[in-house]
Amino acid sequence: MNSIEKSPIPATTPRVIVREAAAPRPRWQVWLIRPEVVTLLLLVIAAIVATRLSPFFADLGFILESSTYYIEFAIVALVLTIVIISGEIDLSPAAQMALSACLFGTAFKAGAPIPVAIGVSLLSGLAMGAFNGFFVTVLRLPSIIVTIGTLILYRGLAQVLAGDKSISGFPSWFVGIDYRMVGIVPIPVLIFIAASILLGLFLGITIYGRQIYQIGTSEIAAIHAGIRVRRIKMGLFIASGLVSSIAGLMVASRLGSVRYDLATGGELTMVLIVMLGGTYIFGGRGSILGTFLAAWLLVIIATGMTVANIAINAQLTIMGLLLIVSIIATNAIYARSQR
Amino acid sequence: MSQVSRLFRAREAGILVMLVLFVAFVSLIQPRFFSTETLRIVLLAVPLILVAAMGQMMVLVARHVDLSIGSILGFSAIAAGMVFRDHPELPLFVGFAVGVLSGAALGFVNGLVVTVFKLPSIIVTLGTLSLYRGLLFILSGSKQIDPNDIPEPLIRMAQTSPIDIPWIVIIAFGVAFATWLFLNYSQIGRQIYAIGSNPVAAPLRGIRVMPVTILVFTLSGALAGLAGLIYAARFGYVNPGITGVGFEFTVIAAVVIGGVSINGGVGSVLGTVLGVLLLGSVQVALPILGVSGFWQNAIYGGIILIALVIDRTVRQGGLLARGGA
């Protein structure tokens, strides 16, 4: 029973008391300074600026086409959003993408038909997620450092599997998912939109969704309320592994080959999308809608920079800066508004 | 608790046992591993990790983490290398000053953002990891510092010294000794432990958490900067796209193996030195054992996880024990 004592006292305890004493803000104000609204505003501004920089940008088809590079990360970021709302974090999805893609490639090279290789890859995603979840929920280690460990481990195993060679030669029906269109919308974008709707509904209207917010707000209270905290967290890590392997397969299809360094640095992009979308890094607050908007914000910023001929290396600087500014902003907004 | 069991429980003893067992194991399989030559290679491999590990250890003791040190290392190495390249007439210590000070400045920024905005250091330094890497590309114009731009005396520091131990080894162990003095015999050093053990109670005891935390990040940056110079001395070139990439993980692995708790407040210089030596031995032993270098990262990752579990077990007296912390 002393598991209750285990959790640290939230540093914000005194502030909560002050909050209860304060008069509630007018509803319009609460709505206006929601982080999602800020993300939407930024999105509009970024689109206008980008259109000024280059006339290409007014072309929706161009934006959709150039989005496919970021969409894989954005799909994982949807699940990462839920993980962060539950008060945990997963820094290993990019490495999971690489390892599951390399397993797919290795299985294919060993003569397995593509569907079997895809099955192997998806299973490995489940296993990697469960491995993370085991350390976090059973051994009760902090997810932040566990997933740093598994990030190195998974990437290292991918390196062991694939060496420094790339595996290619996949059949043509498998390659080029980003060139398959429905109208002007590439298939990966459709997958992203569908996943956003599904996960948005899951988080917004199901009991599990409410419970996840509850866990992130106060794990102790959630345990008292009879929420199966560990089971839900385990489920989230497994979901993160599964979606990572799907994203890994999408990269494999887009590039037509896999390498151990696939999606290197992807953890930054994913965390950036989630933070830009206004999800609170300490858990309990955030939304799929925010992440959805933030993904498009990132696509526009990134392609805008590319169109404006800003070198990829300089883009790194801007991405890092964006991440820091967005968490400062989200923090400030949540400190001001109560809900 | 008897003296013996206390000694056995000490983390340092455990790491030492692991180190001895590892060396014995490798020597059994490949007797030529057990030689002064190997010791020399290990000693040459560790300064880079050791110097940065001292900084990372202080950060972890203060219950933070610094993921940006790889980029800081690269930045400082590039900055110092550009000074060497463009002003070969300047004495060596100017380059050292540029490297260490630029590292300190970047570390200071980390500390400032983390403390002023009360943000988790892991996310902030994940951001500055990319930010600083981008800045170093801009600073260097994506150009490599070539071997002939690195001054001869700096390269010699990785090879010779009056007492037959390379200078960089002496510098690294000097840094470790200074860190030990600082953490154990200065007031600020003790305060770092106090902050890490209980960040809520520390200010109540009159500790000014913010300046001390900023100092810790600044020191971590400065030491990563020094590591940048050791990199330049040892490898003789600095490449903006390669130097220091992924270095943070190696250092965190070494520090965590060295018994520094990720929950703050726990960690010793001796343990960290042993952790670095163990990691250095693994690095040197892999090719001798005929294991492909591709295994290196997987082994590091595995070691981190094992060290975490050991840390957890030691702290709470049982793998699945509840409570504690």
ipTM: 0.84
**Contacts of A316 by beta carbon, 8 Å cutoff, 6+ apart:** B130, B131, B133, B134, B137
Over residues A253-259, the mean pLDDT reads 94
In terms of Cα–Cα distance, which of A97, A104, A101 is closest to A77?
Answer: A97
pLDDT of residue A190: 95
Residues 6+ apart with CB under 8 A from A142: A136, B262, B263
**pLDDT (tens digit per residue) in A28-58:** 766 667 778 888 888 888 888 888 877 777 7
Lowest-confidence segment of A93-102, B149-158, B243-252 by average pLDDT:
B149-158
Candidate from B122, B300, B319 with C-beta closest to A144: B122
Distances in whole angstroms, Cα of residue B13 to Cα of each of A32, A209, B4, B173: 58, 47, 11, 20
CA closest to A149 among chain B residues: B301
Q: Which two tokens stand for residue B223?
A: 């030491």
Q: Per-residue pLDDT for B317 more than 70?
A: no
Residue B119 at interface with chain A, using a CB cutoff of 8 Å: yes
CB contact under 8 A, A328 and B130: no
Residue B153 near residue B92, CB atoms below 8 Å: yes
* Placement of tokens 């053990």 in the chain: B197
Percentage helix, strand, coil for chain A under 3-state DSSP, each rounded to 5:
75, 0, 25
Q: Are A230 and A137 in contact (CB under 8 A)?
A: yes
| Averaged pLDDT for residues A170-198 | 91
Cα distance between residue B325 and residue B322, in whole Å: 10
B147-157 core/surface letters (b: 16 or more CB in 10 A; e: else) = eebbbeebbeb
pLDDT at B6: 54
Q: Does B203 touch chain A (CB under 8 A)?
A: no
Supply the pLDDT for residue A30: 67
State the burial class of residue B21 (Cβ atoms within 10 Å of its Cβ: 0-12, 13-18, 19+): exposed
Structure letter (DSSP) for residue A257: E
> A167 has which bridge partners?
A258
Note which residues in 133-192 of chain A have CB less than 8 A from chain B. 135, 138-142, 144-146, 148-157, 159-160, 163-164
Q: A281: nearest CA in chain B? A: B120
> Token digits for A107?
């299985």
What would the two tokens of residue A89 be? 């974090």
pLDDT attached to residue A25: 66
**Chain A interface test: which of B143, B198, B297, B315 (most A C-beta within 10 Å):** B297
pLDDT of amino acid B324: 37
Give the closest of A144, A159, A268 to B298, CB-based: A159
Task: Give yes or no for residue A60 having a pLDDT over 80.
Answer: yes
Cα A212 to Cα A232: distance, rounded to the nearest angstrom: 8
Residues in CB range of A2: below 8 A, 6 or more apart: B322, B323
Question: Does B118 contact A at CB distance below 8 Å?
Answer: yes
Q: Under a CB-based contact definition with an 8 Å cutoff, are residues A87 and A219 in contact?
A: yes
**B287: its two tokens:** 């090719």
Partner residue facing B126 (CB), from A140, A154, A271: A271
Are B130 and A156 in contact (CB < 8 Å)? no
In tens, the pLDDT along A218-236 reads 999 999 999 999 999 999 9
Mean pLDDT of A190-199: 97
Average pLDDT, chain B: 88
Three-state SS at A16: helix
**Chain A contacts of B302, Cβ < 8 Å?**
153
Q: Mark yes or no for CB contact A152/B253 under 8 Å.
A: yes
Contact A145 B262 (CB under 8 A): yes
Per-residue pLDDT tens digits for A319-334: 899 999 998 988 888 8
User: Looking at beta carbons, which residues of chain B come within 8 Å of A2?
Assistant: 322-323
Return the structure tokens found at A159.
């390196």
Cβ pair A5:B312 closer than 8 A: no
Range with lowest mean pLDDT among A45-49, A156-160, A319-323, B117-121? A45-49
The mean pLDDT of B132-160, rounded to a whole number, is 88
What Å distances lie between residue B81 and A317, B69, B93, B133, CA to CA? 21, 18, 12, 16
Residues of B in contact with A323 (CB under 8 A): 123, 126-127, 130
Average pLDDT score over chain A: 88
In whole angstroms, what separates CA B197 from the centre of its chain? 21
Provide, as residue numbers in chain A, all residues whose Cβ is less than 8 Å from the Cβ of B199.
11
* pLDDT band with cut points at 50, 70 and 90 for residue A24: low
Distance CA A72, CA A273 (A): 12
Residue A15 has pLDDT above 70, yes or no: no
Position A62 pLDDT exceeds 90? no
CA distance A32 to chain B (A): 22
Instruction: Give the minimum alpha-carbon distance from B22 to chain A in angstroms, rounded to a whole number.
Output: 20
Query: Which chain B residues have a beta carbon less than 8 Å from that of A267?
Result: 126
- Distance (Å, whole) CA A158 – CA A153: 9
In single-letter form, the type of residue at position B164 comes to D
Instruction: Look at residue B69 and give its three-state secondary structure.
Output: helix
For residue B323, what pLDDT is reported?
44
- B265 — pLDDT class (breaks 50, 70, 90): confident
pLDDT at B9: 55
A315: nearest Cα among A305, A324, A323, A325: A305
More confident residue, B15 or A24: B15
In the block, which residue shows the tokens 């007018």? A26
B324 to chain A, any CB pair closer than 8 A? The answer is yes
pTM (two decimals) = 0.87
Are A266 and A73 a contacting pair, CB within 8 Å?
A: yes
- Report the pLDDT value the prediction gives residue B260, as an integer from 0 to 100: 87
Phi, psi torsion values for B12, nearest 5 degrees: -60, -40
Q: A337 falls in which pLDDT band (50, 70, 90)? A: low
Mean pLDDT confidence for A111-115: 93
pLDDT reading at B175 higher than 70: yes
Specify the pLDDT at position A203. 95
Name the residue among A81, A67, A71 with its Cα closest to residue A35.
A81
pLDDT tier, A2 (very low <50, low <70, confident <90, very high otherwise): very low
Q: How far apart are CA B251 and CA B255, in angstroms?
A: 6
Q: How far apart are CA A35 and CA A41, in angstroms?
A: 10
* A residues 15-74 closer than 8 Å to B (CB): none
In the predicted structure, residue A198 carries a pLDDT above the cut 90: yes
Among A149, A164, A316, the residue with its CB nearest the CB of B305 is A149
